[in-house]
Every structure is written in C-alpha cells, then in structure tokens.
Structure 1
Amino acid sequence: MNSHFYKQQFEDLLASMLALGASDMHGSVDVYPVFRIQGELLEQNQLPVLERGTLKGMAEALLSAEQFEHLTTQRSCDLGYSNGVGERFRLNFYFERGGLAFAVRALNNAFCTFEELRLPAQLEAIAGQKDGLVLVTGTTGSGKSTTLASMINKINEERACHILTIEDPIEFVHPNKRSVVHQREVGEDVLSFADAIRSAMREDPDVMLLGEMRDLETMHAAITAAETGHLVFATLHTNDAVGVIDRLVGMFPGNLQNTVRQQLSMSLRAVVTQILVPSADGSGRVPVNEILMVNGAVSNLIREKNSAQIRSVMETGRSQGNQTLEYALALRVKDKLITYEKALQLTYRKEQFENALKVLNR
C-alpha cells in the first residue's frame, strides 16, 4: 500500500478525534485507538484496531526521511503536523515493547483571549513585561502551550516588536500582526534549543518563547537572555510556583548555584503554574493558576535562599497579583466553575483553602 493510503487513514483518525472533542489520541500495536476526552482516557472500539503494519505505514507516510531515521535510531520523534484543512497537531512516534506507538495532541490554532480561556487577569500584566524571565509550569496536558500561545498572540496584536519562538515541534503558528514573528523548529531549523538561543542574540529579538528548558545549557542561555534585556517565556514540568525556583537552581552544579540564584533574583518576573480541572457542569475543563509575581521582596528571598518565605509573600500580596493555588481553587469554587469536592482533592493545604473560601463568601 502506498503512503497516501496510510496518510489518509491517519487523517481519518484525526477527524474522529476532533469530532468527539478529544484533546489527545494514543495508538499502539493491536489495540483500539484511545482518546482523551475532557481529561478521561476512553477506548474507541468503534474504530479499527491498529495493526503493526498500519502503524509503520503511518510513520513512513508522515515523517520525512530524516525524521524516520531519527525515530529508528533514537526510538522516538516529535513533529508538528497540519491536516488537509490546516488544523494543527503535535505528534510523537515512539517504540514500546518493540512496536511503534504514537501520541497526538490537538492544537487549536484559533487564538483565544484570556477571557475565553478563563485565565486570570494577571496574565495580561505579565504579557506586558518588557524584559526578564517568565516561567509557565505544569504537568503534561495542563494547557501550558495554549496559555503561552495566547500571551504571545496578545503581544503580537499590541506591540510592534520582533518575536522569536524556539520549539520542538512548532505547535501554534503565529502570523505577523503588529509584530514580526519568526518560529524555529529544533531539528528542522536549528540543531538544539541552546544553539537557537545563542544565535538569537544576533537576530534582534524583543520577545522569545522557549518551548521547554530541557538541559542546563538551555536553562543557562535562557536566563542570560532574560538578563540582557529580552522578555523570555519558557516552560518547566513542575506544579508548584515556589518550588520551581529551588528546582531550577538545584539542577545546576553546586559551584554554579549561587550565581544562578543571583541571576534569577534579578531576571525572574513571574511564575505561572497551571492545572486543568473538570468543570462543575461537565462541559470541559477550567484552568486554575497559581501565580508568583516577583517584586523586590521576592527577589531578596531568592537571593538569600529563603524560598520558604516566598509563599507568605504570595498569601499577603494578592493586591500585587500574587495568587496561591488554594486561593485560585477557592475563586473557582465561589464562581461555581469547579466543585468544592474536586478542589479539596487538589490541595495539600486544606485549611488555607477553607479560609480563602470563607473570605470570598463573606
């Protein structure tokens, strides 16, 4: 069978995925496709079982020769993909138990406003920063990419500047609006994140989006770029706004940690942590955001290795945009967007959540 046949089979799966409102699809040898719908994984037994030859045919049809070679040697390969009508997806082909498998994430390239995504108003102020490092953190599937795309789109619509994104793969395609936007894909346009950041210093960017900080070299380059007058957005896989600082510093060798801590104290502007919670009415999922806005007091605490006190600043500094997870959960419960029971499951600080809810309901 030719590549067109397997590509069409894959596109049919994508169409089924979108028709059912799935955010993700998983495929592996001799099982039915599995869709993630409103956060729940559901086997699609109305679709054909994926056979070994079918998965291999799909990989060969969708990947370039270089990508297929990478899959064969490195045992996994990421790529961005547009279907026949221009809808965007993020694909990962990989091996498991000796057979091919894939994971697909649907990407809605129609940029939504913060209000449409139900994101907190503080993100507008964060998008308006002129320089420094902004970290958007959360587990896989927490909507980080969508939130970042909305922030970049807002800058694109409102500021005449040069935006450079470095991604693996490119997820959301940003056309030029008021800004000039260039998007580089690791493996396609540049060899590595660190290489892309280093060369970016000669490409006159005002704003940089770094898809993920995966290694020390990339982290160091991102922090340095933020120090030198650029606004840098980056993601990390953590679910605690305060803990991300110590985790980031702790990933560096001991002899560099003080220097990195000093750099972060001067360059970090905000940390936004996001989780997606099933809505109370069952219609979808609602973002819940913990937000740390870095001011002089927080900078000093970072510099003095006193991260434990940062949470106190967050709890008492809501007027400056700070928001603990407990307060964010209480806000969603008060507005009847998520259930009280679900919020209780998501917090390790039940007393603070209960107190925040009492204050909000006065």
Structure 2
Amino acid sequence: MSLGSIRVHDLLRAARARRASDVHFGGLERPALRVDGRLVGGDAAPIDDAAARDFLTETLVPEQLARLDARGTADGGAAPGAAGSPYRVHAYRHAGGVRVAVRLLAERIPSLDQLGLPAAVASLAARGAGLVLFTGPTGSGKTTALAALIDRINRTAERTICTIEDPVEYVHVPARSLITQCEIGRDVADFDEALRGFLRADPDVILVGEMRDRATMEAALTAAETGHLVFATLHTNDAAQTVDRIIDAFPPEAHAQVRSQLAAVLAAIVALRLVPRRDGAGRRAAAEILIGTDAVRALIREGKTHMLRNTIVTGRASGMQTLETHLCELVVRGEVTLADAQAVSSRPAEVRAFERSAS
C-alpha cells in the first residue's frame, strides 16, 4: 500500500471512530466529515492530488479510473480492509485536480430490528412479487434498509436474488438463498441492460440500486409484472411524488398505460428520513409507508396522486403511516427531539400538533 493511500485509510479510521457517515477530501482544504447529518471540519492535513490518486488507484477498478479521467466522475466501493469496514467512493474532478467523497458503511448488515423500522417494512421481505420502492434524499438510509431486507430474505427463504448496484456496498454471503451482486462499470454497463438480462437468470428477487431513467423504470415495471419481487430506490421525498416521478418519466401519451402498470404491481413505497437520536448516539430512521391496497391502486390508475396522503392517513390498519405520525411517535418515546423531528419534515406544524395530542 502506498504512503498516500495509508494516509487516506488513517483518515477513514479516525472518521469512523467519530461515527462519521461521510468523509470529503482533496485539494487544499482540510478533510471534512459528516457526523449525524452535520458537516464538521476535520483536524487532518489536506490530502493532495497524489495521495488521493494513490487511494483511488487501489480502490477503483481500471474501468472506473478510466471513467474518472474521461468523464470527470467515477464511483466504486471497497470491502472490509485497511479502513476497517466497507465504504463507497465517489471521485470527481475539481479545479484541475480530484476530490473524493467516501460513504462509510456498517461493518455488518444491520437487521431490520436494529434499524427500528415498522413491522410493515419487515413484512415486505415475505412478498412473492411486486414493486417495492425506497425513497428519500441522499443519505436517508435507503441502501441500508434495502440491505437489511435482502439479508432477511437470504436468511429465511430459498430464493434466487440478483442485485444491480452502483457500486456494490453491502456484500451478502449466501445463507438459504443464492445471491448474485453486479456492479455498474465493473460487471455490467448500465441498470437497464443488466435488469433485462437478469430476467433470463431465473430470479425470484431483483434489487435495482437506483431507477435513474425511463428505460430502467420500464424494465423494473416489466419485471414486477412478470412475477418477480423487485426492490428499487428513487430520490423523491414522499409516496405521491414518487408515483408522479415515475409517470412523468414517460411521454404524455403513455401516462395512462404506465399508471395502469404501476397500479397493478406496486406493493409499497417507503420514504425514509434519518433523525439525530436524542441521546447523541447517531441517527435513526423515520418512515412514511404506502401499501398497495385496492384504494391506492384506484387512485394511481385515476391519476389522483394528490389524494394518496389521505389514504395513508386512514390506512393504519393496512400498515400505512405518514412520516409525521412516525416522527411524533419517536418524539413521544423520547428517541428524538421535537426540533429535530420538525427539521426533517415538510409539515413541521403537523408534528407539533401530533406531539401535543399524544402527550
């Protein structure tokens, strides 16, 4: 290992000791850490281009390095090693040099119980088919929640599981299931091509790391229609926005057909946020959950997505809940503060109203 790479790994170990989720370095500035969602300055010396390049050369495969030089960005990941646990890397060119953002991942895949997600989320692992979408902004816990679900399936059922990720973050060891994990740029060219290819690989479960474009969305809908359980992520804020994002990705003349397809296959939408714990011990997930009931399917087919939230509010018996309901429960249980709960909600007044009524 080169001297420059050793410096970076020392930085990553120190960041993990501070419970950082992300590390940023490169250029003349000192490295910065994201701790409990907040960006804080580090005390390490700047990581120059030579050291950053040493680290990237040892972390990324040649194809990923070539992409960085040719197109200005590259993604990759690393299994447990010198930094002590797995991490995800995003490198990008800046002012003639290179900068790197590293996402530090858990040493082990957390269980669904450890994540504290509602029972309705765990029940999705037992579904035989359908489309399950995890949404939320970057860094909201989508990848970790999906890894926990795949781990639950792996440990409890005999299924063929195929994942398409950019990059592979959590590495699954086959238990009762057969698992194939493919990485964009290393194993396959893109999500759409890989997803269509997997349909011929006798899969039971398919995980799509991100539905980035219309072609991938179309392939995911087709996979769910043909009897597979498909998990995927989108960078949307709530259930209604997620439905609209998928439909709007297609031309207007196809909207009616896509609404019908989505209504037929949608099993659930789980919109996540991470909230700092009151005791300072990191963050925990809060979730909005939409379940694909008959009422939900009818609203999607009819294009009445603005009414989905009302259905979530009245659908507690089916496992549905609004983000504000979950946030209020966490406040009442003393897990998070009211201020932090309101900060992650687009309806902070509702969190206050729920909190008052519950107390």
Deviation beyond 6 Å, 4+ runs, structure 1: none
**1:209–1:232: 8 Å Cα contact kept in structure 2?**
yes
1:317 matches 2:315: yes
Alignment deviations for residues 312-336 of structure 1 (CA, whole Å, 9 cap, x no partner): 1111110110101111111111111
Partner residue of 1:226 out of 224, 227, 230: 224
What's 1:214 paired with?
212
Distance 1:308 1:66 in 2: 44
Q: Is the 8 A contact 2:5 2:52 kept in 1?
A: no
- C-alpha change, 1:29 and 1:329, in structure 2 (3 Å) is same
Give the aligned partner of residue 171 of structure 1. Answer: 169
* Counterpart in the other structure of 1:64: 61
Deviation, 1:358, is 4.7
TM-score by length of 2: 0.95
1:271–1:291 CA contact under 8 A, matched in 2: yes
- Residue 181 of structure 1, CA deviation: 0.6
CA distance in 2, matches of 1:147, 1:21: 19
Q: Distance in 1 between matches of 2:6 and 2:352?
A: 52
Higher mean alpha-carbon deviation, 302-311 vs 111-120, is at 111-120
Deviations 1:35-68 (A, max 9, x none): 11121211112x1212233223333343333222
What letter is aligned with 1:200? F
Other-structure match for 1:158: 156
Between the two proteins, the alignment pairs up a number of residues equal to 358
In the other structure, the counterpart of 1:269 is: 267
Following the alignment from structure 2 to structure 1, what is the Cα–Cα distance between the partners of residues 262 and 201? 24
Structure 1 range deviating more: 105-114 or 213-222:
105-114
Stretch moving more, 342-351 or 210-219 = 342-351
Counterpart for residue 49 of structure 2: 52
Deviates more, 1:48-57 or 1:95-104: 48-57
Question: In structure 2, do the counterparts of structure 1 residues 140 and 37 end up closer, same or farther at CA, with 3 Å as the change threshold?
Answer: same
Distance 1:353 1:332 in 2: 10
Between stretches 245-254 and 62-71, larger displacement belongs to 62-71
Contact 2:60 2:77 in 1 (8 A): no
After superposition, the Cα gap between the structure-2 partners of 1:257 and 1:70, relative to the gap in structure 1 and judged at 3 Å, is same
**What do the CA deviations read for 1:61-82 (whole angstroms, capped 9, x no partner)?**
4333322211100101100112
Stretches of structure 2 that go unaligned for 5 or more consecutive residues are none
Identity of aligned residues (%): 40
Partner of 1:128: 126
Q: In structure 1, what is the equivalent of residue 144 of structure 2?
A: 146
Q: Within 5 A, what are the aligned runs for 1:1-150? A: 4-45=2-43, 47-84=44-81, 87-150=85-148
Which residue identity is paired with 2:211? M
Does the 8 Å contact 1:7/1:62 carry over to 2? Answer: no
Separation in structure 1 between the aligned mates of residue 224 and residue 162 of structure 2, nearest angstrom: 13
Of the three residues 279, 282, 285, the one matched with 1:284 is 282
Q: TM-score w.r.t. structure 1 length?
A: 0.95
Partners of 1:169 and 1:186 within 8 A in 2: yes
Cα distance per residue 1:100-158 (max 9 Å; x no partner): 00000011141222221111111111221110100000111111111110011001111
* Distance in 2 between residues matched to 1:43 and 1:351, nearest whole Å: 33
Which one-letter code corresponds to 1:49 in the other structure? P
> Structure 1 202/34 Cα, relative in aligned 2: closer, same or farther at 3 Å?
same
* Secondary structure of 2:20 counterpart: coil
Amino acid in structure 1 at the alignment position of 2:304: N
3-state DSSP class of the match of 1:146? helix
Question: Where does residue 257 of structure 1 map in the other structure?
Answer: 255
- Secondary structure in 1 aligned to 2:57? helix
Residue aligning to 1:329: 327
**Shift of residue 193, structure 1, vs aligned partner:** 0.6
For each residue in 1:261-280, what CA deviation from the matched residue of structure 2 results, as whole angstroms up to 9, or x when unmatched? 11000001100000001111
Q: Distance in 2 between matches of 1:137 and 1:198?
A: 23
Give the letter aligned to residue 59 of structure 1: L
Say what the alpha-carbon RMSD is for the aligned residues.
1.6
Q: 1:316 to 1:234 in 2, by over 3 A?
A: same
Q: 1:16 to 1:259 in 2, by over 3 A?
A: same
Q: How far apart are residue 359 of structure 1 and its match?
A: 4.9
- Return the letter of the residue paired with 2:234: L
In structure 1, distance between residues paired with 2:175 and 2:57: 36
Compared with structure 1, are the counterparts of its residues 41 and 65 closer, same or farther at alpha carbon in structure 2 (3 Å cutoff)? Answer: same
Q: Secondary structure at the match of 2:239?
A: coil
